[in-house]
Amino acid sequence: MTHQVVLVVDFGGQYTQLIVRRVREQGVYSEMVPWTTAAEKIREVKPTAVILSGGPRSVLEENAPTLDMSMLEGIPTLGICYGQQLMALRLGGVVSNADHKEYGKRAITPVGSANYLSGLDSYEVWMSHGDQVQQVPPGFSVIASTDSCPVAAMANPEAKKFGVQFHPEVTHTLAGKEILRRFLKDEAGLVGDWTTENFIEEEVAKIREEVGDGKVLCAVSGGVDSSVMAALLIRAIGDRAVCVFVDHGLLRKGEAEQVIETFGTHFQGNLKAFKEHDRFFGVLAGKKDPEEKRKAVGAQFVQVFEDHAAELQGCEFLAQGTLYPDVIESGSATSAKIKSHHNVGGLPDWMTMKLVEPLRWLFKDEVRAVGRSLGLPDDMVDREPFPGPGLAVRVLGEVTPDRVKMTQDADYIFRSELRARGLNKGIWQSYAALLDVRSVGVMGDERTYEQPIVLRAVESEDAMTARAVPLPFDVLEHIATRIVNEVDGVNRVFYDLTSKPPATIELE
């Protein structure tokens, strides 16, 4: 099936992935493409519309990211922040360094009437810019401004070219979704023909074409991503999707047993389980650097699969639950690498199986929707995210069986107390992590020199941004008391209040 496609050209903006997500929320298929390869992609895809993202650089710099605007002739285009400035500069307008830089919430004032910013419920927007358009190009008109930004938005409806200096994709722009909807539906004429059901149908066809008569080793962890991936593969190729669970000893308390039971119930026993605690703890011994730990875990996963190749009946393909945020955080042509994900950047060069990643371009909420459409139970679909390397990245410093057990026990207390009070509802992710430091304490009138636990619980929509959950103090105090009293080796408990950004959801 051929969809209408919106290409989002990435100029290195921190919110670019959110633009893609907001477009998809309108039922419109969208892909992100680096500005360096955008011209080729536009020729190949022939998009119905294009959005130019923000970016950290100045359009006035030498060798600044750019795009040949003639490529966009006849294509409805929306420029956001840097994208508006680039469009204005390349089409004959004037851009300059702003006398008053704008960062944070601002109120725009509409200029004129009968444009796609008319009659919004709110004009509070999120600005983040140093340069700004001083004079619009020929054929454009100013449709919004602020006290210090004369061209907060511009439009040339005849040419289907539009620009905004603010960021409609972030939630701080209160009418942002409506602004994007108006551009996509009213100005660009998109009908919204991309649905969860369409995705399943098309991905099943792609899997069948890619795999042919071959077998796929489907790496599962019991998490949302791998479970949905397994269900999708089973839908596509049935028993030729060989589900494999590697118990590496780095899961949450009791989780290995739960995974085996769940897959036996919902996947008709189509699961092979390998207990490999010694292998993983062996390769992690002495390693403290988080990147080294992630890559070591990723390498061992593949080594386990290859060591059991005969038992796995010669699978030629390896399926993984890689998601779009994994790809973004592992680095792309225009974005910095935040961390390697074992299923994106940490696999070894010697891996011989071909990768199959059916969820690679989906956000977490889209994966959950696919899971529900595939008939997976809510307790599986709504499971909190858990990192592929498991507790290897929640035990800061060296990973040992004793330190993992401390983390498992503290995590179990924290999460079970939240569930008992109904506080887990609305939490995106909650966990306990063990710090690689020691602190002085007093227990039983004796001095202790033991390790602290950090608790973290965040709210999020897609894992790209997150905010700490304001848990009641008395609950945190009770949990801290339980952890210190019940977990040997812990004498302090902290609660992490940092948002993402500047932090990440995981500590490592």
DSSP per residue, 438-457:
-EEEEETTEEEEEEEEEEEE
The CATH homologous superfamily to which domain 5-187 belongs is: Class I glutamine amidotransferase (GATase) domain (3.40.50.880)
Burial 320-354 (b: 16+ CB within 10 A, else e): bbbbbbbbbbbebebbeeebbbbbbbbbeeebebe
For the segment 97-108, the average pLDDT, to the nearest whole number, is 79
CB 18 within 8 A of CB 42: no
229-241 residue pLDDT tens:
999 999 999 989 9
Higher model confidence: residue 470 or residue 343?
470
Query: pLDDT-derived band of residue 340, with 50, 70 and 90 as boundaries?
Result: very low
- Give the number of other Cβ atoms within 10 Å of residue 254's Cβ: 10
What is the share, in percent, of the chain residues with pLDDT greater than 70? 92
For the segment 284-294, the average pLDDT, to the nearest whole number, is 93
Per-residue H/E/C for 74-96: CCCEEEECHHHHHHHHHCCCEEE
Question: What separation in angstroms does the CA of 227 have from each of 218, 255, 420, 499?
Answer: 10, 14, 26, 28
Q: At 305, which amino acid appears?
A: F
Q: Does residue 424 register a pLDDT over 70? A: yes
Burial of 444 (0-12, 13-18, 19+ CB in 10 A): exposed
Which residue intervals of the chain bear CATH 3.40.50.620? 201-381
The CATH number given to 394-495 is 3.30.300.10
- Residue 187: which region, alpha, beta or left (left: phi > 0; alpha: psi -120 to 50)? alpha
CB 76 within 8 A of CB 160: yes
**Helix residue ranges, H only, 102-169:** none
Higher model confidence: residue 421 or residue 13?
421
Check residue 185 and report its DSSP letter. I
Burial 420-435 (b: 16+ CB within 10 A, else e): eeebbeebbbbbbbbb
Higher model confidence: residue 138 or residue 321?
138
Which residue intervals of the chain bear CATH 3.30.300.10? 394-495
Query: pLDDT-derived band of residue 42, with 50, 70 and 90 as boundaries?
Result: very high
The CATH homologous superfamily to which domain 201-381 belongs is: HUPs (3.40.50.620)
What is the share, in percent, of the chain residues with pLDDT greater than 90? 59
Extract the tokens encoding 379: 């307790």
**pLDDT attached to residue 383:** 86
Separation between Cα atoms, residue 262 and residue 237, nearest integer Å: 21
Is 250 strand, coil or helix? coil
CB 155 within 8 A of CB 145: no
Q: Does residue 251 register a pLDDT over 70? A: yes
Average pLDDT over the chain, rounded to an integer:
88
Map tokens 């893609």 to a residue: 20
Separation between Cα atoms, residue 284 and residue 27, nearest integer Å: 44
**Helix residue ranges, H only, 99-189:** 176-181
For the segment 128-147, the average pLDDT, to the nearest whole number, is 91
CB 322 within 8 A of CB 412: no
Which residue intervals of the chain bear CATH 3.40.50.880? 5-187
**pLDDT attached to residue 461:** 76
Map tokens 């969860």 to a residue: 196
- Give the number of other Cβ atoms within 10 Å of residue 371's Cβ: 24
Enumerate residues 6+ apart whose C-beta is below 8 A from 22. 168, 169, 176, 177, 180
Separation between Cα atoms, residue 85 and residue 389, nearest integer Å: 42
The verdict on pTM exceeding 0.85 is no
Phi, psi of 26 (to 5 degrees): -90, 5
- Residues designated catalytic: 81, 167, 169
For the segment 351-364, the average pLDDT, to the nearest whole number, is 83
Is 70 strand, coil or helix? helix
CA 382 to chain CA centroid, nearest Å: 16
Map tokens 């202790």 to a residue: 448
**pLDDT attached to residue 364:** 84
Q: Does residue 349 register a pLDDT over 80? A: no
204-218 residue pLDDT tens:
999 999 999 998 988
Q: Does residue 142 register a pLDDT over 90? A: yes
Instruction: Name the nearest CA neighbour of 167 among 51, 77, 28.
Output: 51
